[in-house]
Amino acid sequence: MHHFSDRLNAAIRSKKTPALVGLDPRFDWLPEEIVSAAEAKHSSKAEIVAAAFEEFCFRMIDVVAPLVPAVKPQAAFFEEWGPAGCLALQRVIKRAREAGLVVICDAKRGDIGSTAEAYARAYLAGEDPESAIWAADCLTVNPYLGSDTLQPFVKVAVERGAGIYVLVRTSNPGAGTFQDRKTDGHTLYECVAAVVNDLALNTTGNGHYGAIGAVVGATYPEELTQLRELMPHAPLLVPGYGSQGAGAGDVAGAFDAEGLGAIINSSRGINFAIRKEPYSEKFAPEEWEQAVEAATHDMIADLAEHTPAGKLQ
């Protein structure tokens, strides 16, 4: 069985970039042609939205699969539409795996005991897509019920060659309300980071990094650099680049000297590039896929120029 971080790093080296494309479909922003096609085939709103999401994400995958190592579907956008949406999510993950992409399902699950293990077994397929219903390589996990809630996810991840990314320092403006609270001179996020690094150290593969990683937001670059040092064995998932305001310079501290150790996410900025300049000026609305491709190339170039990821080129 191949270790999650080994597989991820191999994909990053193959594509020569740590760029991660989030799949965040928003019905009101979808191309008109996709919405019209879904409306022609279905009658209920849930079925229309799910069909539109599926086609949009399939076409996104077709564009970005040759360019990036991984995608991150956001489960909430699909779950909002009930069974039809959940089926669409399952199909999107399957399509991405078939395209050779590493799939990080962003569902932020977290619970105790047997419930946590059920979540883990549902989502974490790891190396073999047939090992779990949702078939993801990796899952985002919320640790704030306690360190014992992580153990079932760790167990299944190790068994299946999967990975988890634990929320440590998130990118949202209100993150500090809880995460910056101090006890005995340490912030809560530092305490979580210590647990994550221990778990990562105990789950390393052939390389330096473990199967247990951390979500650390790009919108707090000083903390990001600090956390890279505090968690030397944890691969980092870094949201906040692009539409949330962070630039490539803000994420430079996430990487090791070889340009590995982190994967940088952009969702809206890639998915809906056609809605903003300069892509809205270069492309017609129906050329949204060309805008996606151009925005992905621009992100790859930006990371290569301003971060150690340039060493992958």
Local confidence band at 218 (pLDDT 50, 70, 90 cut-offs): confident
Write down the pLDDT at residue 219. 83
Write down the pLDDT at residue 243. 67
Q: Which of 15, 41, 45, 108 is catalytic?
A: 108
**Token reading at 30:** 């979808």
Ordered structural domains, the chain, with CATH = 4-312 (3.20.20.70)
Write down the pLDDT at residue 185. 92
Write down the pLDDT at residue 207. 82
With pLDDT > 70 as the criterion, what percentage of the chain qualifies? 99
Region 209-236: what's the mean pLDDT?
Answer: 95
pLDDT tens digits, one per residue of 53-63: 999 999 999 99
Q: Tell me how far apart the alpha carbons of residues 280 and 223 are, in angstroms, rounded to a whole number.
A: 34
For the entire predicted model, the pTM comes to 0.96
Per DSSP, helices labelled H in the chain are 4-15, 32-41, 45-64, 75-79, 82-98, 113-123, 151-160, 176-179, 188-201, 221-230, 248-251, 268-271, 279-282, 288-306
pLDDT tens digits, one per residue of 124-155: 999 999 999 999 999 999 999 999 999 999 99
Residue among 166, 234, 251 nearest 5 (CA) = 234
Given a contact cutoff of 8 angstroms between Cβ atoms, the answer to whether 138 and 102 are in contact is yes
**Token reading at 64:** 């970005």
CA angle 64, 69, 75 (to 5 degrees): 75
User: Is-catalytic flag, 108?
Assistant: yes
pLDDT at 226 over 70: yes
Q: Give the three-state DSSP class for 130.
A: helix
pLDDT tens digits, one per residue of 241-296: 976 778 899 999 999 999 999 999 999 999 999 999 999 999 999 999 999 999 99
Write down the pLDDT at residue 312. 96
Q: Tell me how far apart the alpha carbons of residues 33 and 77 are, in angstroms, rounded to a whole number.
A: 20
Write down the pLDDT at residue 251. 95
Write down the pLDDT at residue 258. 94
Q: Does residue 184 or residue 116 have the better pLDDT? A: 116
Region 160-164: what's the mean pLDDT?
Answer: 97
pLDDT at 1 over 70: no
pLDDT tens digits, one per residue of 104-124: 999 999 999 899 999 999 999
Average pLDDT, the chain: 95
Write down the pLDDT at residue 287. 98
